[in-house]
Structure 1
Amino acid sequence: RIRPVLRAANELSISRGLNPCYLQASLSESIRIPETPYACEGYRLPTEAEWEYVARAGTGTPYSFGSNPDSLLHYAWHAANSGGNRWPTFGDPLPVGSLRPNPWGLFDVHGNESEWVTHALPYTAEAQTDPLGDGTQKRGGSLYETAWQTRTAFRGLAGNAQSGFRPVRTLGPGELGPPEVRAARRPVDGTDTVWENAVLEWSAVDPNGGPLSFDLYLGTTPAPGLVVEGLSTASYAVDGLSAGTRYYWRVDATSAEGITTEGPVWEFSTRPEALRAVGAEDNSLQYAMVTVPAGSYERGENNAVEDQGPVHRVTLTRPFRLGVLELNWTHLQALDGSPVPRPRAQQPRDQEAAAVSRERARSLANRLSLDEGMPPCYPDARPVRDVLECVGYRLPTEAEWEFALRGTGTSRYWYGNAPGDLHGRANYGWNSEGPGGLYPPTEWGFYDMAGNRAEWVNDYYGPYEAGPQNDPLGSVTGNLGITRGGGSRSGPWELASAARMAEDTTSTLAVRLARTAAGVGAENRPPTVPEQPSPRDSGLVIPPVVHLFWHGFDPDQDAVTWSVR
């Protein structure tokens, strides 16, 4: 409530040797809010005008991060993500600072707990300087309120119900301090998947509100050398970085008054040579793949979206190989001559995850199989057979895909249960698709399985069957395909390990190729039955020279000899 909050501000002022802002002649009298708070030396509540100014952080959009309420999941605990804290339950506030800050580094200005402000305003159409009203107000919304109520402009009810508070101080001359170099925005400090051509971004602020200039240092030792000085923007594009190398970088910020702050040293590593070259792999596309062992796991999630349950045990009896990355535009150009899209925002897109329909995804798998002398898994004009028996390239089954993402874990996400920890782990939340591998891999070494671009799986959309299952294939016909992993514009719920989406098969999404691994079981398996003969069975040919062709393969990838009769 407001009176204990005012007393707490006074106690904080006294503990710091400052004159308190709120006066009380005696314990029997009400504590008074000064008419002009800016002259107060100690800690106080922000005025309503001050609160909205710092909450907006220089933006003119409904939220400090933009206009899309879907992105609020990354910045605010509110009714959509607070775990059941709904009116009239009034659940406890969640830990402060656990989601993203606004552009000025302030956490929880949206949601979690509404905040008391003083000198609430009767709004007028005229311009105002340091405006002061005479009431109290609550701003920012709370964990049980809607996205609409957490907008920076939303004004809550005054009343005297309990709310949180954020103390402020009016700074005197000489107290504003030097420039602050706050954070490495891209790449995040410690990232180990940076491309050789990268854009470095950072956040810095001058407490005096003036412009800043920047000197950038970059090198392969903890004491990096000067690369460029006098930058007017907080970003710089570098190219020609070496693969598989750890880099250190620092930014110094200088104010208009000539005061310089030396920033901290951050670090990142470029992708290993194998990933830089799209993978050292024994296939014609050099498409890196990882072997996933046979195993069992609990598929799905109860108490979530209806089609994600019921949770049931799935056993995969065959190991399989799965692409480390989603196929990118360079892969498509090599497979079928597709042109690489034009750059977006001056960034090349050759390493960006390619977007194709489900039918084209299967066609690309067939093309790579045929290039390597293997029978295609999706023969034309024929029903899809048991793809697990196919030795060529294919889409992963839905069961394989979820197992690969989960690894040995059992949590809601591949790293744990907290959606707030997605930040820095995946490209999501209304961003643009980017090059593969910019975020840390999963336990078994896969990049971008969650976020960046949603991926096709082999199954058609349909409900799960209850009970334990071995090597489930799902629906083999239908009008809708299944996509997994969510994309760069998805919310956290779409990146959960169990999340699945029905999608029209003509939609263009990402492809991650799979293959049934060789050497399954204790005994060696026989070669496949030769198929797809040319000329066709009972076909008419013109003598005297006839060329006979057929497809066949050894599932254990042993050498095969053929006898022709």
Structure 2
Amino acid sequence: MLIKIAQGLLLLAVFGFLHCSKGSGPFERDNLLDPEGTNWHPPMVIAMDDSLIAVGDSITIRASGSDPNGTVMEYLWALDGFSYKNKTDSGEITIAFQTAGIKTVLVKVLDNDSIESETDSIIIIVMGDAPINVSPVNGVLSQTARPTLRWIPGKFNSSFTVLLDTVNPPVSVKKTGVTDSSFADTTRDLKYGKTYYWRIIGVDPFSQTAPGEVWQFNTPLTSGMKLISAAGHVFSMGQNTTAMPVHSVQFTYDFFMDSSEVTQEDFFRIMGTNPSSFSETSNLPVEYVTWFDAVLYCNKKSELEGKDTVYVYTWISGTPGNGCSGLTGLSIDMSKDGYRLPTEAEWEYACRANTATEYYWGNGASNAYAWYSSNTATIQPVATRLPNAFGLYDMAGNVREWCNDWYTSYSNNMVYDPVGPAYGTYRVLRGGAYDDPFINTFASAYRTNDYPYTRSTSTGFRAVLSLSVSTPVIIYQPQSQTVDIGQTVTFSVWANGYPPPACQWQKNGIDISGATFANYIIASALPSDSGVYTVVVSNSRERVKSDSAVLTVIDTTTIKYVTTDSMVSISGAMFPMGSDLNADEQPIHTVSISGFFMSNTEVTQGEYVRVMGVNPSYFASDTNQPVENLTWFDAVLYCNKRSVLEGRDSVYSYIGISGIPGNGCTGLTGLAITMTNNGYRLPTEAEWEFACRAGSVDDFLWGSYPPNSIQDTTLIDSNAWWANNSGNISHAVAQKRYNGFELYDMTGNVQEWCNDWYDAYGSGMEYDPIGPMSGTSRITRGGSWTSNGIDLRCAARIYLPPVRVNWLGFRVVSR
């Protein structure tokens, strides 16, 4: 039955799933079935509204097509969103999806001239028992440490349990009994620089559960620090009776400060050791650290994040991170961008958080803000008391905190960006600790001190990063993607800078209206979304443009998947192979070739993606461009996988794969080639030259054209994409004249891998030669868009190791 309910329509409106494209032009530029080209009118498709149904429910989809110059013969349906496996005589099909999810159905029509219409599509949300994840998109880089999880409810779900964890599958329960279809933890940030896994479990009214899929996202790389806006601010530092004299301090910069004291987990992750006496849980503040230990932590964290270290020294005394007692030759460069301890002035400004009261919460004691001897006998996990107005936890109590300054008395004068004296005996400590019996030690201005080599179970620290106006720096660049029509696309950027940079996404160099967030999401990609995407990040100092990210949306309706029925049958014969022009093409010798099939074009990116699921190509603006930028091994893997998909016997066998299959495979261990199998393979060098010549003995497939002459290039231009006319890019296949066997692009566009190892020719007659059994380089043939005239000859040989270049692709043969 066709289900159309208000809830489903609302969901579609919210998530933007309605995408029906209707065009009026043919997708083929040169249609052999319609020689006049512009005089025919393809059928049109009209699809029903997008809908929401349940798993197992039947839905009837209706489409209608018409052709003023012909008759609609059949309707072609891609129920999986890319493969047209279903055909109907009428514009109606009834289906029942057996799995939940967001489904894309494509439909087109075929007329009596075998001309196909463009595609129409509908989106159907198929509800199962379990929720369907929506965002954050699986695998995305989240731009916040407090992301909102969103999902579509299962058909019987009345409430939800949210699992969120750094282990896969997630086991940590964040919340139960959620009745909304979204969740965000607004109480604290997630850990930075982590991969998080999430799952939503649907619960029905009878407490039966249905777990959804596990998705993952990454949190930003920056640690959990709070921006302290201090530039231009003047505050009164000190306190009468305890920290005199009160004096004015002004900052010329902002800074980041750790929102909590450095935890034992943080310290161990950076230093590889935990000096703490209390170590029951990893989110306790690290303690029993010297001032020097804290400095070493700051430096090492800076190094790990590619920042310039603030502290310089020539020698370490004691155990680094666990009792360092001195740093010989220590100097401090406050202009560096690395982590450091806060100055005493920074600490007090951040603690006060724009308050002038004795404590940052007021003028009396409060158990809600601080851990001290009245409410605990030991240290406590960080961030378990209330924060101050700047969002900083434990600025009073828990553990005392090392500051950067040597201890000295205050002056009456106003100071700017104070850093304390150049030398001294004691370093400043601030904030009070769990074992302090007197509440006055938690006052914002209270100060104490200790030797920098002293260790105490009540002493820890937090770090800061000072900020001046800085050029935006892109940390995470947008990534190129190849997707099927209807899939969700997310481009992400992560940029540092101060002030924090704004974003403006562009397509093909033109601003995209409203695309001003760090993530740019295309909910359901269409072929028209293909293009080059960039993002400009900018602040008051500078504009920085990201690397280009190429989006290729595969329109499966325009992919002519080549099978043996459409491959060219080439009858066997004898021919003279080689030439007298170059030494490695000599001697000319007679070769006898048995009949075989060869694809009439180079393997296109669309065909490659359909089989391998990845597009390694450098030029990826058109799915009809030849696939390139792939190794000989990648081409072999394509041949094997396509053979398996079509029920053929694989030609190539191996026991191990090195590199990334289909996108940079660097080796196949134990490779063996069985030429008698009926699967797809690369052509032998002899097969390739025989097919290129197509019965001719001329140098070029179009005749004898002196390759070293400088003359009119019209003849070459009409037969091949080469250095003179390519514009330094590859082009869609089959745009130039075909040869005598009706094979396109046998010269130019992209060079083509052959099956053979390279070796010198012999002089005797050969029968179906397959080349030597071993070697260091494989044969490539045909020239490319980079080639001059001489490399376009039928006999020209080039041999290469299994490299990846953007002018090298392949075509397939079979027996």
| Shorter-chain TM band | 0.3 to 0.5
Whose strand fraction is larger, Structure 1's or Structure 2's?
A: 2
The TM-score with structure 1 as length reference comes to: 0.41
The TM-score with structure 2 as length reference comes to: 0.29
Rg larger in structure: 2
